[in-house]
Structure formats: structure tokens, C-alpha cells
Amino acid sequence: MNIRLEERNMVMRNAAPKPKAVEPASVIVPKAAPASVVRTAAAPIRTTPRPAIQKVIAPATARPVAPPKAAPVTIVQPTCDSVRSAAATVAPRKNLLTTTKLLIGISVLVCIGILIFFVSFSRNRTAATTVAKGKAPVVAPGLVEPDSGLLKLSFELAGKLRSVKVVEGQAVVAGEVIAELENSDIAARLESSKAALRLSEAQVKTLEADLEAEIQQTEREAERCRAELALLKAGARPEEIARAKADVDAAQADSQRAADDFQKYNEASSIQSGAWSVQQRDNARRISEAAAARLKAIRETLGVLVSGARKEELQRCEALLAIADAGSRRAVQSRSSRMDAAKAQVATAQAHVKFAESELQKTFMRAPINGVVVWKYKHGGESVGILPPDPVVAVANASKLRVRADVDEADFGRVSVGQRVYVTADAFPGKKFPGRVTWLSDAAGQKRFSTGEARERMDVKVVETMIQLDEKCPLKLGLRVTAWFNDNTQTSTK
């Protein structure tokens, strides 16, 4: 009895310090113990009370293990040799258990990693399938801009600003003067051009009057020559011939009477008697000769009237008429060419006036549309250039807004003109602003603006898209927004 108590005490001393490293199955060592130690059923078995055995086993058990109900319970009598053998096998089994637990932990981690990979792959594949089927909308960043576009106005001439008549936020109407350049020199050139134009117009009027007088004179000369020729060709009238014959008869009577008087003064008896003086006889002779000469002339005139104009006179008159006609034609042609030259000078002067007026108008900047002044870049007194364009103000019609979005080239096939879109902005959380696609670029290109995200790539290809917002909204020009394209609600653009 003392020997059994001593064995139990040894077992407790050896097993109690390391209760966690010993499993319940390792305490019962029927396999590790020698065959001679195990008592068979035929041999008398010396048993100890059950409570004593429980006291020996309980300290070495980490957690109670219920034995299988179907397995029979065999009570093994622990001996000193079996207890020593169990104590000797505890240390190697502890190292083996630690290695096993480490391998199990590594295997568990590997399995968890594989499980996470397959779950992620499955989710990505599901998302890709969803996008391919059109279940998720296309999302693209965009910028808010006016429907008219942002018009940056600059002068066509370089110079110094006299004044800028508007401020930012001011409403303007089309044609209103926004800014003005210094233009005193251009205004002086305009007045000089107008004076030159007036002078040219006066010269044209004077030249036209002179040419008209010259043409009329040549035409009158031609008419006179033409009338004279016609008279020569027509000959004398019957009345003229009859009058000429009457003149011949009268002259012949006068000549006969003068001849009779002279004959009377030349009679021999009269000369001898001295009734007539020598002077009287000479006067009678002269009168007779004059009457004979007058008769001859009148007869010649009658002959001319009867026979008509001579060939030489006709040729002379025809030559004069030809000269007069040529002068008239020359005057008309000269008038045309000289008037064309004068009118060309007038046209040149008019062109100079128009050019000066256009130059003067270019010094005034006018609003091209009804809108508001968005930006004011320059002030009065500053200089402006034309290369590169130097804007003075920016004007836009903010009554209608649109969004210029950059659609990724991979999503281009899911976007079309007329497609419904809604726009969101960080400044208005929870609000959606509806619109539709009105224009798509014909070619893909680089991004034109950045969304501000750290991971954003600017070297991707995008398709520029224009979105017309349906109604007036509180979005501001230049605000960054996000466009959501709906695949299921498209409208026709017909």
C-alpha cells in the first residue's frame, strides 16, 4: 500500500508542472508500456479505488475529454515503469506538437490568402460582366461651361487702352462698347481720307461738265458741215433760180441802158460840138462797164444755181464733215476713259475712307452676345498686343449651361448623341442635374483638364463629349462635375 502511494506521488510530481503539454490520451500508455506490465483478464488484477485514480489523472489534463460511448473502458493499472515511460515521451511530443501547430497556422494563412484572391477575382469578373452588359452607367469627369462658350475678347490692333467700361459680373447686350483704345491718330487719318474723297468727287463733276461741253461743240460743228453738204447736194431751189433769172434780166436792162448812155456820149457830133466833157464820157464808160460786169456775175450765179454745186465743193464739205464726226467720237471716247480714271480716283479715296473707318472701329470692343462679363483681365492705361492674342475681358451667356466631359475610350461605345445624362457636383451633394448628349468628338485625344485626384492619369485617351443641361441650375462656370450616362434611356436626335 505504501508502494502504491509512493508511485502516485512520483506521478504527481512529474506530471503536475506541465499539465498543458500532456494530452489525456498520452497519459494512458497501453501501447508504450511493455507487454509484461499490462495485466490480462485471466490474472488476478489488483485495483485501487476509483477516486485515487482520478486524483492522479486530473492534474495532467488540460481539458476533459469525453470518451466515446461505443468504445469499452479498459482500466489500466499504472506502474512505476509506465509512469517513467510516459514522462520520457512528453518532451519530444511537445516539440512535435509545436511544429505541427506552426505548419497548421501557415496552411491556414495560405488558404485564407487563396480564398481572398478567388473572392476578389470573382468580384472583379462580376463587375466587368456587369459593365459589359450595360448594367452600370458610364461615369466621366467634366467641366461646366456656358452654352455660348467662354468668349475671350481681344483687340485686332495693338495699342494702349483708353478705358474699360465694364466690371466683372456686369450684364452686357450685343453691340455694347466694352473697351476702347487710344485712336486720335486713326481719327485724323479718317478725316484726311474724307477730305481727299470730297476733292476727288468735285474733280469728277468738273471734268464731266468740261467733257460734255467739248462733245456738244464737236457735235455742232459736225451738224453744220452736214447741213452744208446737204445744201450742196440738194442744189438751188426753184424760187432761187427764178429770182436769179429776174436779177439777170434787171442787170441786163441796166447794162443796156448804161451802154446806150455811153454810146450817146461817144457820138462824133457830140464830141465835135463839145456838148459833153471828157469827164462825163469817162463816167458813162465806167457805169456801162460796171453794169456789164454785174450782169455777168448774175448770169454766173444763175448758171451755178441751175447746174448745182461743183465736185470740189462737195469733196471739201465732206472732208469737213468727216473731221467733225471724228472729233465728236474722239470726245466721247476721251470722256469715257477720263471719267473712268476720275471715278477710279474717287473709288480709291472711298476705299481709304472705309479702311480708316474700319481701323477706327477696331479701337472699340463691342459685346458679341447678350451675356455677363465673367473675367476682366485689363484696365485703362495698359498696353495690349495681338501676338499672341491678349484678352481684355471674357463674356459668356450663363443663362444656358453645358458640360464638357472626357469619356474614356473604353466606354465610347456606350455613349451616343441623345443619351440621357445626369450631372453631380461635390458642391451640391445629393442633387442631380439632368441633361442629354448633344455632341461627340470625331477623334479621341488627350485629357484637357484634371479632376485633382492623386491617382489620376493624364496619358489616357478620351473622347470629348458635350452635354446640354435641361434646365437652369445653380452650377457655376468652370466647376468640376461628374457625368453619369444612362444606358437604358436614350432619346432620338431626329
DSSP assignment of 102-132, as one string? HHHHHHHHHHHHHHHHHHHHHHHHHHHHHHH
| Partners of 480 in the β-ladder | 143
Q: Output the pLDDT for position 67.
A: 44
Q: Which three cell numbers stand for residue 464?
A: 470629348
| Partners of 452 in the β-ladder | none
Inform me whether the pLDDT recorded for 436 exceeds 70.
yes
Q: What is the mean pLDDT of residues 272-293?
A: 75
- Give yes or no for a contact between 144 and 398, defined as CB atoms under 8 angstroms apart: no
Q: Which of 289-303, 415-429, 447-461 is least confident? A: 447-461
Q: Which strands make up the sheet holding 159-164, listed edge to edge?
A: 364-366, 177-181, 159-164, 383-384
- Cell 441786163 belongs to 252
Phi then psi for residue 55, to 5 deg, are -70, -30
Q: Output the pLDDT for position 122.
A: 60
For residues 433, 436, 442, 445, the Cα torsion angle rounded to the nearest 10 degrees is: 10
Q: What is the mean pLDDT of residues 326-339?
A: 84
Residue environment code for 160-184, b if the CB has 16+ CB neighbours within 10 A, otherwise e: ebbebebeeeeebeeeeebbbbebe
Q: Which three cell numbers stand for residue 278?
A: 471828157
Report d(CA 212, CA 473) in Å as an integer.
74
Q: Output the pLDDT for position 384.
A: 93
What are the residue ranges of helices labelled H in 16-79?
24-27, 50-57
Q: Which of 30-39, 159-168, 417-426 is least confident? A: 30-39
User: Widest CA span of the chain, in angstroms?
Assistant: 249
Q: Output the pLDDT for position 465.
A: 93
Report d(CA 160, CA 180) in Å as an integer.
9
Which one is predicted more confidently, 432 or 27?
432
Query: C-alpha distances in angstroms, 378 versus 3, 11, 264, 366, 383?
Result: 115, 102, 127, 15, 9
Query: C-alpha distances in angstroms, 55 versus 19, 23, 60, 80, 109?
Result: 13, 16, 10, 16, 40
Select, from the ranges 122-126, 155-159, 451-455, the one with the highest average predicted confidence (pLDDT): 155-159
| Residue 91 pLDDT grade (very low, low, confident, very high; cuts 50, 70, 90) | low
Q: Output the pLDDT for position 490.
A: 43
Inform me whether the pLDDT recorded for 43 exceeds 60.
no
- Cell 511544429 belongs to 99
Report d(CA 146, CA 180) in Å as an integer.
26
Residues in CB range of 184: below 8 A, 6 or more apart: none
Report d(CA 357, CA 192) in Å as an integer.
11
| Residue 379 pLDDT grade (very low, low, confident, very high; cuts 50, 70, 90) | very high
Report d(CA 257, CA 244) in Å as an integer.
20
Residues in CB range of 236: below 8 A, 6 or more apart: 244, 304, 305, 306, 308
Q: What is the mean pLDDT of residues 323-331?
A: 85
Can the peptide bond before residue 388 be classed as cis, meaning omega within 30 degrees of 0?
yes
Inform me whether the pLDDT recorded for 425 exceeds 60.
yes
CATH of domain 139-147+399-490: 2.40.30.170
Residues, the chain, total? 494
Inform me whether the pLDDT recorded for 399 exceeds 60.
yes
Q: What is the mean pLDDT of residues 57-75?
A: 43
Q: Which three cell numbers stand for residue 271?
A: 464830141
Q: Output the pLDDT for position 356.
A: 94
Q: Output the pLDDT for position 22.
A: 38
Q: Output the pLDDT for position 437.
A: 93
Inform me whether the pLDDT recorded for 3 exceeds 70.
no
Q: Output the pLDDT for position 165.
A: 94
Q: Which of 123-127, 318-322, 358-362 is least confident? A: 123-127
Query: Considering only CA atoms, which of 148, 33, 143, 25 is closest in space to residue 88?
Result: 33
Q: What is the pLDDT of residues 202-240, one digit of tens each?
A: 999 998 888 888 888 888 888 888 888 887 776 667 777
Q: What angle do CA 52, 58, 60 make, to 5 degrees?
A: 125
Inform me whether the pLDDT recorded for 489 exceeds 70.
no
Q: Which of 82-86, 177-181, 386-390 is least confident? A: 82-86
pLDDT, mean over the chain: 76
Please give the single-letter amino acid code of residue 7: E
Select, from the ranges 6-20, 91-105, 271-285, 479-493, the one with the highest average predicted confidence (pLDDT): 91-105
The percent of residues above 70 in pLDDT, for the chain, comes to 69
Q: Output the pLDDT for position 57.
A: 36
Query: Considering only CA atoms, which of 147, 131, 151, 141 is closest in space to residue 465?
Result: 141
Q: What is the mean pLDDT of residues 144-169?
A: 91
Q: Output the pLDDT for position 142.
A: 92
Q: Output the pLDDT for position 268.
A: 56
End-to-end CA, the chain:
112
For residue 267, how many C-alpha atoms fall within 13 Å in the half-sphere facing its CB? Answer: 9
Q: What is the mean pLDDT of residues 125-132?
A: 49
Residues of the chain with CATH 2.40.30.170: 139-147+399-490
| Residue 455 pLDDT grade (very low, low, confident, very high; cuts 50, 70, 90) | low
| Residue 120 pLDDT grade (very low, low, confident, very high; cuts 50, 70, 90) | low
Q: Output the pLDDT for position 99.
A: 82
Select, from the ranges 33-37, 204-208, 222-226, 252-256, the one with the highest average predicted confidence (pLDDT): 204-208
Q: Which strands make up the sheet holding 151-153, listed edge to edge?
A: 151-153, 393-396, 371-376, 171-172
pTM strictly above 0.85: no
Q: Output the pLDDT for position 135.
A: 56
Q: Output the pLDDT for position 1.
A: 45
Q: What is the mean pLDDT of residues 260-269?
A: 71
Q: Output the pLDDT for position 457.
A: 67
